Amino acid sequence: MSESDSTSSTSPSNFIQQIIREDLENNKNEGRVQTRFPPEPNGYLHIGHAKSICLNFGTASEFSGLCNLRFDDTNPEKEDLEYVDSIKESIRWLGFDWEDREYYASNYFDQLYDFGVELINKGKAYVCSLTQDEARQFRGTLTEPGKNSPERERSIAENLELFARMKAGDFEDGAYTLRAKINMQSPNMNMRDPVLYRIRRLHHHQTGDKWCIYPMYDYTHCISDALENITHSLCTLEFEDHRPLYDWVLDQLDIASHPQQIEFARLNINYTVMSKRKLKQLVDENLVNGWDDPRMPTLDGMRRRGYTPGSIRNFCDMVGVTKSNSVVDVGMLEHSLRDDLDKTSPRAMCVLRPLKVVIVNVEEGHKDELILSRHPKDEEMGERKISFSKTIYIDHADFEEVPPPGFKRLIPGGEVRLRGCYVIKCEEVIKDSAGKVVELRCSIDAATLGAKPEGRKVKGVVHWVPAEESVEVEIRLYDRLFNHEAPDATDGDYRDFINPDSLEVLTGCRAEPSLRDALPEERFQFEREGYFCVDRINSTKEHPVFNLTVGLRDTWAKQNR
């Protein structure tokens, strides 16, 4: 950070902050900073949107400015109120607040229409009847200039009348468009007389059936920004070629404000897809269980999975803001998550695949009330109670009859420590008729509660729960939704790379008694297993459901430190 840097941010300043700082020094926009987050309500927000949310809200707050929420709702065909609601909830969950500045591009339909009339009056727009196919032919290609529409020189009076009749519903869908009169020879295709309005008889979630003409995105976006007195309009790189059109529209119109469009690189993450169209397809084709499926990169899915808003904000900070596209390792996102969860999650024990263990040298009804800390480094989290009794469960994975090399857990005749409890020794292995291990008979060394065993070392520690008092829970284990690093960028269909093992449901798991009262979205570290959170949709008091948020092992941190 430079010495003159007066902001309190701990991260080095990005190029957008530098531009804004310069603008402030030059008293541009009277020292005001106002941004906006402009989602189209045609799907749920994903982690890519989080980057834009953090950038827009974060930048505004850094410069004591404001950030608006604006729904870019110019294409009612794909939009829906369900999406509007979910988008608002996700932004709030992430920790940002647009206060009373909730806007809709559709709020401006009347003004957008009037600006269309203004453009016609200035000889800068015309009504055109070329069909979509014809318009495409006239547009030319990247290497060939376009040709003027035969209707380009229509009189202003005639254009005004036709535009009014388009609005009045006199024409069929697609019969006419309103086009900007710019330059059909421009090397920038976006400047070749782009369509500003089209006729579409569609019901709109905000304006109902009031309109049968709808403005196009490029035309709407810059005017909406200007009407809201946005100072810096931050968008992703693919809009760089649209900036001349953004500026052209505002330059023609009698409109006081002219926001500055600045482009940044979108967030891409490996092992996932991040286009709303594809995410919607996954939902519509039942390849996942809805937009909020915990395997989805949607904010709703990530929330359900157990991601904390802080870990997502921190990740967006780590990724930074740049001008060149790149792909971020999903391990970095998980690292940020673990970092947060390690500090904030109370510990608990849960046996995923229970194996019954009967202690042969304690009486029926024996009970040791044990007190364990809820967090090894944070005393304030307090303690939890768990009682040791004659019958307990350990995990099937912690016992091997024929141990592989290096196996440090329980084996026939071997010893292991129960976490926070005694050292036990496996005396007998009980199998069913199929030869499957169904029960162990073990003895405790009564001198090992809180003390080292005499004269020998016991290396392994396993987690356990009391049989009777433990709570039966369902556990949903998740793995990556795609088993290809770049499911999007391969020759095949991204759906061919869906990981068939991305969800495993375990029932009959046993959790320690303190988990009986866990609330939806509460997060825990299940010792030796990973971070888990109570499913906010399906979990009930009678049938608790926990989602695996992320495992304990952080390979990303090892490689990047």
Q: Is 266 a catalytic residue?
A: yes
**From ligand ATP, Mg ion, none, interface partner of 235 (C-beta below 5 to 8 A by class):** ligand ATP
- The C-alpha atoms of residue 365 and residue 546 are separated, in whole angstroms, by 30
Q: What's the closest the beta carbon of residue 49 comes to Mg ion, in angstroms?
A: 10
Structure tokens at 495: 């759906």
Selected range binding Mg ion among 38-46, 98-106, 298-306, 518-526, rule: CB under 5 A: 38-46
CB of 483 to Mg ion, least distance (A): 28
Q: Choose the one of Mg ion, ligand ATP, none that binds residue 51, judging by a C-beta under 5 to 8 angstroms depending on kind.
A: ligand ATP
The nearer residue to Mg ion, 48 or 309, going by C-beta atoms, is: 48
Which does residue 48 touch among Mg ion, ligand ATP, none (CB within 5 to 8 A, set by kind)?
ligand ATP
CA distance 303 to 93: 9
Pairing label, strands 530-534, 545-550: antiparallel
Strand 102-104 to 125-128 pairing: unpaired
Bridge partners for 162 per DSSP: none
- Cα(168)–Cα(159) distance, integer angstroms: 14
Six token digits for residue 328 = 């971020």
Of 260, 210, 290, 270, the closest CA to residue 486 belongs to: 270
Catalytic pick among 70, 192, 276, 523: 276
Pick out residues in 40-99 that bind Mg ion (CB under 5 A). 40
N-term to C-term CA, the chain: 21
- Of residues 52 and 448, the one with the C-beta less far from ligand ATP: 52
Residues 270-329 that bind Mg ion (CB under 5 A): none
3 state DSSP class of 3: coil
Q: Dihedral of CA 14/273/536/555: which sign?
A: negative
Segment holding 290, helix H or strand E? none
CB of 279 to ligand ATP, least distance (A): 7
Nearer to ligand ATP, 39 or 354 (CB): 39
**Which one of ligand ATP, Mg ion, none is in contact with 146 (Cβ closer than 5 to 8 A by kind)?**
none
Q: Which of 32, 40, 165, 367 is catalytic?
A: 40
Residue 261 or 345 having the CB closest to Mg ion: 261
Q: What would the two tokens of residue 476 be?
A: 């949903």
Give bridge partners of residue 36 from the DSSP assignment: 68
Indicate the residue among 40 and 62 with the shorter CB distance to Mg ion. 40
Helices 47-62 and 15-25: crossing angle in degrees, nearest 10, is 30
Give 473's contacts (C-beta < 8 A, 6+ positions apart): 350, 509, 510, 511, 515, 544, 545, 546
DSSP 506-546: EEEEEE-GGGGGPPTT-EEEETTTEEEEE-TTT--SSS-EE
Is 179 within 8 Å of 193 (Cβ atoms)? yes
The DSSP 8-state label assigned to residue 259 in this structure reads P
Residue nearest to Mg ion (CB): 40
Instruction: Please identify, among the stretches 36-44, 333-341, 382-390, 531-539, the one whose residues bind Mg ion according to the rule CB under 5 A.
Output: 36-44
Question: How many other CB atoms are found less than 10 A from the CB of residue 407?
Answer: 14
Residue 181 interacts with which of Mg ion, ligand ATP, none, CB < 5 to 8 Å by class: none
Residues near ligand ATP (CB under 6 A): 38-40, 48-49, 51-52, 72, 235-236, 266-267, 274-276
Q: What is the DSSP string of 375-387?
A: -SS-GGG-EEEEE
Per CB under 5 A, which of residues 456..515 are in contact with Mg ion? none
Give least dist CB 206 to ligand ATP, A. Answer: 16
Q: Is 40 one of the annotated active-site residues of the chain? A: yes
Rounded least distance, CB 105 to ligand ATP, Å: 11
Residue nearest to ligand ATP (CB): 48
Q: Which does 276 bind (CB under 5 to 8 A by kind): ligand ATP, Mg ion, none?
A: ligand ATP
Given the complex with ligand ATP, which of 72 and 293 has the nearer CB atom? 72
Q: Out of 28, 78, 154, 266, which one is annotated catalytic?
A: 266
- Cβ-based nearer residue to Mg ion, 44 or 546: 44
Residue 530 partner contact from ligand ATP, Mg ion, none using kind-dependent CB cut-offs of 5 to 8 Å: none
Active-site residue list = 40, 266, 276
Residues that bind Mg ion (CB under 5 A): 40
